[in-house]
Structure formats: C-alpha cells, structure tokens
C-alpha cells in the first residue's frame, strides 16, 4: 500500500482537495438541504479515486520516459517496485470506483464523471504533442471546486467558476515551474513543455503572468463571495491576501540559474497556500453562520 501511495504521490492531493471542500461548503450555504456528512465523505472519495487514477495512469504511460530520466528513474515502475500491469489495473480500479461514487452523489455528477476522467487521464498524452500540456493539468485540477459545488446540487454559478479560473491559472503556472527541472531531458526525448520550447527565462515569465492573473481571479472571487454570501466576513479577504502572498513568494525561490528550491516552491509553498486559503474560507463561513 505504501508503494501505491508513493506511485500516485498521495501527499499531492493537498493541492486540489481543499478547493473541492471549498466548493462543497459554498454550495451547502445555498442549499436547502443543509450540511451532509454523507455527501462530504463521497466528495473526498471522488477526489482520492480520480487523482489516484490520473497519477497511476501517468506513471504507466510515461514509464519509458521515466526510465531514461535520471530524476524519475527511481519511481516505482521504472525501478521495478510496481509492474506496469499492476499500475494499469490500479488505474482502472480507481476509475471504476470514481464513477461508482458519483452515482451515489447525484445524476449530474455521474453523467459528468466520464468527462472528468477524459480530462485528467488525457493529460498524460499531451506532453507528447503540445507544450500546452501544463494547461490541461490545470484544467484537470480546476474541476475540483466545480465538482464539490455540483455534488451538493449547485449549478455552474459565478463563484465556483471564478475559483475554477483561479485554480486553472495557479496550477498551470506552478507546473511550468516544476517542469524547469526537465528542460534538457524533455528536449532529448522530444517531449513538449513550455521550458523545453521557450527556455527557462521565458517559461518563468509565462508562469509569472499566469500567477498574476490567478491573483486577480482570487480577489475577484473574494469580492463576489462578499456580495453573494452574507456569511462571508473579513477572513475571506485575509485568505485571498495570504494565498496571493504565497503565490508570489514561490517566484522568489526559483531562478533560471538556480533550481535547487523548485520542490520548496512547487510542493511546500503551494500546498500551504491551498490548505490555508480554503481552511480560512470555510472557517469564515462557520464563524459567521454557525454552520
């Protein structure tokens, strides 16, 4: 089990899971049904199953590339810890569990489950033919606040769509930073990424722009939340400010000539940003509404 957790980088669930929770609580505040532990647990299961399927499939599909990349050669499949066949079975199992779980949520989530799987599994192919692969990953994780909102019976409302846009830009931007490590090997293997196509300097500029736009959507969402939700208080704005501060902080850690702190920027800073932001938002709703 430990090997499979490592295969799918289970700890990286911290990026999207808090936004799924935020979407869930946003919809709960507008729902006549009120808070449901059953629905919350089902949403958590959906996130775990969907992400596990996506990561395992990515590792399965990229196994030969990972074997030839010194940075990734120690991963479970190229290292022989998990066989390709076992990884594929694990992928299919999680896909099935994800679809089954959506059935117990509501019809909309069930019908859209295939669309979600196409996006998150399809990402694994994109690096082979387009440097826009980072944006496909961003799209996949950006489904989290939408999915959490739909689970409670909400529609495609403005606030979850604003958070969708913010997460899309945020993830696309930090994935470009992460890809800086593999610029040379991507070129050698004829894989497409923005660093491989534009170089480190230009790639970082693209990431800067994406995160600047993300900050704009985060504050736009905070403004919209303050209008639509009477339960929102001052923590709504504090959460937005902290998230954006951490967003810009990660860009001070990485330079084109110094990538030693990429993991600190990628995992630690973004993980803290997501967790703190969504926790403060949900706490704000709780304190103001007594939910």
Q: For 179-223, what is each residue's pLDDT tens digit?
A: 999 999 999 999 999 999 999 999 999 999 999 999 999 999 999
**pLDDT tens over the chain, length 291 residues:** 777 767 767 666 788 999 999 999 999 988 877 889 999 999 999 999 999 999 999 999 999 999 999 988 998 899 899 999 999 999 999 999 999 999 999 999 999 999 999 999 999 999 999 999 999 999 999 999 999 999 998 778 899 999 999 999 999 999 999 999 999 999 999 999 999 999 999 999 999 999 999 999 999 999 999 999 887 788 999 999 999 999 999 999 988 888 888 887 778 888 899 999 999 999 988 776 655
Taking Cα atoms as reference points, which of 92, 82, 70, 119 lies closest to residue 6?
A: 82
| 3-class DSSP assignment, residue 198 | helix
**From the CB of residue 112, how many other CB atoms can be counted at a distance below 10 Å?**
15
Q: Where are the domains of the chain?
A: 2-289
Return the pLDDT at 291: 52
Find out whether 246 and 273 touch, Cβ atoms under 8 Å.
yes
What's the confidence (pLDDT) of residue 288? 62
List CB contacts of 13: < 8 A, sequence separation 6 or more.
47, 48, 51
Quick one: DSSP state of residue 259? -
Distance CA 117, CA 184 (A): 30
Q: What is the predicted pLDDT for the residue at 143? A: 95
Distance CA 196, CA 202 (A): 10
pLDDT at 210 (0 to 100): 97
Has domain 2-289 been given CATH number 1.10.357.140? yes
């Amino acid at each position: 089990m430990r090997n499979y957790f490592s295969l799918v980088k289970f700890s990286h669930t911290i990026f999207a899971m808090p936004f799924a929770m935020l979407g869930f609580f946003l919809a709960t505040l507008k729902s006549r049904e009120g808070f449901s532990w059953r629905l919350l647990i089902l949403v958590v299961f959906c996130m775990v199953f969907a992400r596990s399927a996506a990561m395992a499939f990515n590792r399965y599909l990229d196994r030969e590339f990972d074997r030839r990349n010194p940075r990734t050669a120690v991963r479970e499949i190229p290292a022989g810890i998990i066989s390709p066949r076992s990884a594929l079975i694990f992928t299919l199992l999680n896909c099935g569990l994800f679809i089954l779980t959506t059935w117990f949520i509501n019809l909309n989530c069930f019908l859209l489950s295939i669309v979600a799987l196409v996006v998150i599994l399809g990402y694994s192919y994109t690096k082979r033919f387009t440097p826009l692969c980072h944006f496909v990953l961003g799209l996949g994780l950006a489904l989290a606040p939408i999915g959490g909102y739909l689970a409670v019976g909400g529609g495609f409302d403005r606030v979850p769509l604003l958070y969708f846009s913010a997460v899309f830009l945020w993830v696309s931007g930090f994935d470009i930073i992460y890809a800086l490590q593999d610029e040379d090997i991507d070129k050698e293997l004829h894989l497409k990424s923005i660093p491989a196509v534009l170089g480190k300097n230009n790639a970082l500029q693209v990431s800067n722009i994406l995160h600047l736009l993300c900050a704009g959507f985060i504050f736009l969402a905070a403004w919209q939340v303050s209008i639509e939700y009477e339960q929102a208080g001052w923590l709504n704005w504090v959460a937005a400010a902290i998230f954006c501060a951490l967003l810009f902080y990660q860009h001070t850690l990485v330079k084109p000539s110094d990538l030693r702190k990429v993991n600190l920027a990628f995992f630690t800073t973004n993980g803290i940003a997501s967790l703190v932001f969504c926790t403060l938002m949900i706490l704000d709703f709780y304190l103001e509404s007594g939910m």
